[in-house]
C-alpha cells in the first residue's frame, strides 16, 4: 500500500512538468491552429542558456533567478520568431504545412544545441531545495517521501496554469485569443491584428514551456533528448485537454504521471520493459479512438458541406 502511495506521489510530481508544457502547447494551438512541435526545442535552448549562466558558479539564488529569466526570455523570442517567419506565411497553406515547419524548427534547434553545447549530460548548479520531505507521515505512511523541489514544480504548475486560464477567460487579451481561435477571419474583420496577437501567444506559450523545461533540467539532468521526450508526453496531455481546456492540463499532467508510475512498477508481477514511457501513448490512442467523432467535427471535416 505504501508502495502505491509513493508511486502516486511520484507520478503527480513528474506529471507537473507535463501539465505545464501542455498548457503552453494548448495556448499556441488555440491561437493559430498549429501544433508547436518545436516547443521542447525552445525550452531546451532556454535551459542551456541557464546552464551557461550557472555553470561555473556555486548555484546562488540571485544568479539563478537572473539566468532563469534570461532562459525564459530567450525561449519566448524563439517562439515569436517561429510564428513570424514560419507560421504566419503559412496561414493560407494546408494544415500540415505549419506542422512540418515546426518539425523543421525542432530539428534546427536540436542541431544548434548540440553544436554549441555538445550532446553530453550536464547538470545545472542551482539553489532549489533538494531535501526529501516525509509527507507520508501525515497519513501514517512513514516511508513515503517527496522531493521538495518536485513539490515546488507542482506548485509552480498549479499557479501558472491557473493564472493562464484566468488570463484567457477574463482578460481582453485572452478574449482576443479566444476570438481568433473561433474564427480568425472574423476577428480580422473586426480589426484584430491576428498575426501580431498570435505571435504574442507563441511567445507566451514558449515561455511557459521554458519554465517547465528549466525547472526539469535544474532538478534532473540537462540533455537535449529527455526534454524532447517530455514534450511528446505533454502532447498526450494536450490531446487529453482537447487542445482547448487549460484546466484539463492541470489534471491531465499528474494523471499521466501516475499512470506511467504505476505502469513502470512491478504491479503486474514483473516489469514490462519500456511500458512506463509508452503507456501514455496507448492512452493517447485510446483517447483518440473514443473521441474520433468529436475531433472530426471540430476540425471541420467536409462532411456537412
User: Interface residues for other proteins in 87-126 (CB under 8 A)?
Assistant: 89-90, 93, 95-97, 99-101, 103-108, 110-112, 114-115, 118-119
Question: In the range 51-70, which residues lie near other proteins by CB under 8 A?
Answer: none
d(C-alpha 161, C-alpha 145), whole Å: 25
* Cβ–Cβ under 8 Å, residues 114 and 50: no
Q: Which is nearer to other proteins, 158 or 272 (CB)?
A: 272
Question: In the range 268-287, which residues lie near other proteins by CB under 8 A?
Answer: 272-275, 277-278, 281-282, 284-285
- Residue ranges of alpha helices (H) inside 55-193 are 61-82, 96-117, 148-170, 172-182, 184-188
Query: How near is the Cβ of 191 to other proteins at its closest, in Å?
Result: 3
Angle 211-62-205 from CA coordinates, rounded to 5°: 15
Nearest CA among 88, 77, 74 for reference residue 31? 88
Q: Is 245 in the site for other proteins (CB under 8 A)?
A: no
Question: In the range 27-56, which residues lie near other proteins by CB under 8 A?
Answer: 35
Quick one: the chain helix, strand, coil %, rounded to 5? 75, 0, 20
d(C-alpha 151, C-alpha 134), whole Å: 12
Q: Which is nearer to other proteins, 67 or 257 (CB)?
A: 257
| Binding letters toward other proteins, positions 183-222, x by CB under 8 A | x-xxxxxxxxxx----------------------------
Which one of 13-21, 156-164, 213-221, 229-237 is the stretch in contact with other proteins (CB under 8 A)? Answer: 229-237
Amino acid at each position: 500500500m505504501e508502495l502505491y502511495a509513493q508511486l502516486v506521489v511520484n507520478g503527480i510530481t513528474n506529471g507537473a512538468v507535463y501539465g505545464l508544457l501542455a498548457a503552453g502547447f494548448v495556448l499556441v494551438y488555440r491561437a493559430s491552429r498549429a501544433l508547436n512541435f518545436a516547443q521542447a526545442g525552445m525550452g531546451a535552448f532556454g535551459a542551456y542558456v541557464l546552464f551557461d549562466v550557472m555553470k561555473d558558479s556555486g548555484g546562488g539564488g540571485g544568479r539563478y533567478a537572473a539566468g532563469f529569466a534570461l532562459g525564459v526570455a530567450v525561449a519566448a523570442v524563439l517562439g515569436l520568431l517561429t510564428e513570424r517567419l514560419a507560421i504566419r506565411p503559412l496561414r493560407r497553406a494546408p494544415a500540415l504545412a505549419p506542422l512540418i515547419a515546426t518539425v523543421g524548427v525542432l530539428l534546427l534547434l536540436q542541431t544548434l544545441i548540440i553544436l554549441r553545447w555538445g550532446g553530453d549530460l550536464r547538470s545545472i548548479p542551482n539553489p532549489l531545495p533538494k531535501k526529501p520531505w516525509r509527507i507520508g507521515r501525515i497519513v501514517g505512511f512513514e516511508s513515503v517521501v517527496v522531493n521538495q523541489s518536485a513539490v515546488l514544480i507542482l506548485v509552480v504548475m498549479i499557479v501558472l496554469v491557473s493564472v493562464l486560464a484566468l488570463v484567457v477567460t477574463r482578460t481582453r487579451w485572452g478574449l482576443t485569443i479566444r476570438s481568433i481561435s473561433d474564427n480568425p477571419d472574423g476577428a480580422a474583420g473586426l480589426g484584430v491584428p491576428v498575426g501580431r496577437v498570435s505571435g504574442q501567444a507563441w511567445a507566451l506559450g514558449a515561455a511557459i514551456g521554458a519554465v517547465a523545461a528549466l525547472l526539469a533540467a535544474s532538478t534532473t539532468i540537462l540533455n537535449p533528448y529527455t526534454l524532447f521526450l517530455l514534450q511528446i508526453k505533454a502532447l498526450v496531455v494536450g490531446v487529453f485537454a482537447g487542445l482547448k481546456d487549460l484546466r484539463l492540463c492541470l489534471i491531465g499532467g499528474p494523471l499521466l504521471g501516475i499512470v506511467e508510475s504505476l505502469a513502470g512498477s512491478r504491479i503486474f508481477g514483473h516489469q514490462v520493459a519500456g511500458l512506463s514511457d509508452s503507456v501514455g501513448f496507448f492512452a493517447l490512442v485510446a483517447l483518440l479512438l473514443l473521441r474520433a467523432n468529436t475531433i472530426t467535427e471540430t476540425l471541420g471535416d467536409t462532411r456537412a458541406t
